[in-house]
Structure 1
Amino acid sequence: MANPFRWCLVSQDCVLQVNVVLVVVGLIILLDVFSHLYLKTVMFPGLRVYPVSLRTWLFWVRFMTMVSYVLNACLGIRMARHPNIFMFAGYMLVGCVVLLYTFSIAVTRFMYPRRFKFYVQMLVNQMWIKDTLGKVEVEFGCCGRTSAADYLKGSTNRTWASGSCCGEHNCPGCTSKLTDYLWTVEMDVARDNIIVSLFLFVALAIVAVHYSRVKFQEDSYDSDDSEETSSMPPAT
C-alpha cells in the first residue's frame, strides 16, 4: 500500500536541525527574560507594585518555560540520533505543555490595557512617594508624575533632578512616558512568546510527521516480510 504521507516526507536530519534551531531561539529569548529582570532591578528597585511584565512570578514562569523549551529541544536532538517511543511521547507531551504556556503568556499581554495603565500609575506614585523618580526623569526626559507642577503643589520642599527637563517648556510628566515605555516591554514579552510558540508548533508538526512516516514504513516492511513468508512452500 502506498504511503499516504509521501507528499510530506521529513528526514531525520530535518528533525535534528529544527531542534537545534529551537535551542538557539530558546537561549536568545532567555537573554531577553534576564534583560527585563535587569531593567526592573536597575530602574524600579524596591517597589511593591509593578506592571505584570515586570513581576517576579512572571519572570519565574517565563524562565522555567524557556528552560523546559531548551531541554525539550535537547531531547529532540537526542531522539533524532536514537529514536525511541518513550522519548517521542515525552517530547510531544512536554512540547504541548510549553506551547500552551508560551501562547497563553503572549495572548494575555494584549488583555487588560486599563489594568496595565493603573499599575503604571501606581508604580509612578510609589517612586514619587519614595522620592526616587529622579533617575526616571533624567532617563526618559520627563518631570514629576504629570508635569513640573507636581513640585509646586507638594507639601514638602522638593526639587527636581538635575539633568531633567523640568525647567523647560512643555516638559511632559513621567506617567505618560513610562506608560508608553512599559507597554513596549509588554509587547516584547508578547513578541518573544509568539516567536517561540510558532517555532515550537512547527517543530512538533515536523516530529509528528517524521515518526508517522517511520511507523508507516515499518508497517510496510512487516507486511512485505509476512507476504514472503506466506509465499514460501512448507518445509518437508
Structure 2
Amino acid sequence: MTSPLSWCRVSHDFALQINVILLVVGVIFLLDVFSHLYLKVVMFPGLRLYPVSLRSWVFWVRILTMVAYNVNAIIGIFMSRELTVFKFVGYVLIGCVLLLYSFSIAVSRFMFRSRFEFFVKMLVLQMWINNSLSKIEVEFGCCGKTSVIDYQTVANNRTWAAGSCCEEQNCTGCITKVTQYLWTIEMDVARDNIIVSFFLLLSLIVMAAHYKYVQLQQESYYSDNSEEIFRADDTNTERIAIRA
C-alpha cells in the first residue's frame, strides 16, 4: 500500500546537499560581516556613538550568529551521514532559535528610521569636532555637516578637503550622503538575515521530511518482518499437526 506521505519524500543526497549549501551561504555572509567591520575601522574610526549596524556588540552578535549557523550546517552534514537523537535534537533546536533571531533582526532593520538618522547626525558631528571629516568629504563628494555654510560660519579658519565638492553649486552636506550610505549597510544586514532565515527554514523542512520518511520506512520494515515471522510460525504449527 502506498504511504499517504510519499509525496514529501526527500532523498538522502538532497538532505546532505541542502546542508552543504547552508554552510556555503553561512561562510559568505560571515565574510560580509567582516567587510562591514573593515568599513567601520577604515571610514569611521575612534568614535563614541555609531548607528546600530556599526556598533561593536552588534558585530559580535552577528559573528556568533553566523558561527552558530555554520555549526548547525555541519551538524546537519554529519547527521545526514549518521543519524543520532542528540544530533537531530541539537539541529532542530539551534535551527529554530537562529530562525527566530535572524528573522527578528531582519525585520528590525526596517524600523526606527528616525533613531537611525539621529545617530548618523551624531556620527558626522563627532567627525566634524575631531576635524576628521575630510576623508568622508573626499569619499562621498560632500561638504561639511550640512553644506559649505559650515565652513563659512565656523569660528576658526578651517578649510575643506581638496577632493570635496565645496566649490561647486548644489554641493550637499555629508550628513545626507552618509545617511544614504549607512542605510545601505542596514539593508545589507536585513538582506543577509532574510536569506539566512529562508535557508534555515528550508533546511528544517527538508530534514524533517527526510527523517520522517525514514522512520516510516523502518516501521513498515518491522511490520513486514513480523508478518513473515507469524506466517513461519503458522506453517511450523501446521507441519507439527500433520505429523501428529
Under TM normalisation by the shorter chain, which class is it? over 0.9
Q: Which residue does the alignment assign to 2:55?
A: 55
Give per-residue Cα distances to partners, 1:5-26, cap 9 Å, x unaligned.
Answer: 1001101110100000011100
Q: Which residue does the alignment assign to 1:183?
A: 183
Greater shift in the superposed pair: 162-171 or 62-71? 162-171
Q: Which residue does the alignment assign to 2:96?
A: 96
Q: Secondary structure of 1:58's match?
A: helix
Match runs of 1:73-92 below 5 Å: 73-92=73-92
Residue 208 of structure 1: how far off its partner (Å) = 0.3
Alpha-carbon distance between aligned partners in 2 of 1:89 and 1:216, rounded to the nearest angstrom: 19
Please say if 1:144 is aligned against 2:144. yes
Alpha-carbon distance between aligned partners in 2 of 1:3 and 1:69, rounded to the nearest angstrom: 34
Match runs of 1:1-236 below 5 Å: 2-231=2-231, 232-233=233-234
Alpha-carbon distance between aligned partners in 1 of 2:13 and 2:84, rounded to the nearest angstrom: 16
Give per-residue Cα distances to partners, 1:77-108, cap 9 Å, x unaligned.
Answer: 11111122221111111111111121111111
Cα-Cα RMSD: 1.2
Alpha-carbon distance between aligned partners in 1 of 2:17 and 2:36, rounded to the nearest angstrom: 29
Residue 2 of structure 1: how far off its partner (Å) = 3.6
Tell me the TM-score normalised to structure 1 length: 0.97
Give per-residue Cα distances to partners, 1:204-223, cap 9 Å, x unaligned.
Answer: 10000000001111111122
In the alignment of these two chains, the number of paired residues is 236
Alpha-carbon distance between aligned partners in 2 of 1:177 and 1:163, rounded to the nearest angstrom: 15
Residue 170 of structure 1: how far off its partner (Å) = 1.2
Give per-residue Cα distances to partners, 1:43-97, cap 9 Å, x unaligned.
Answer: 0000011111111111111100000111110111111111222211111111111
Alpha-carbon distance between aligned partners in 2 of 1:105 and 1:49, rounded to the nearest angstrom: 20
Alpha-carbon distance between aligned partners in 2 of 1:82 and 1:103, rounded to the nearest angstrom: 30
Q: Percent identity?
A: 62
Residue 230 of structure 1: how far off its partner (Å) = 2.5
Tell me the TM-score normalised to structure 2 length: 0.94
Amino acid at match of 1:138: V
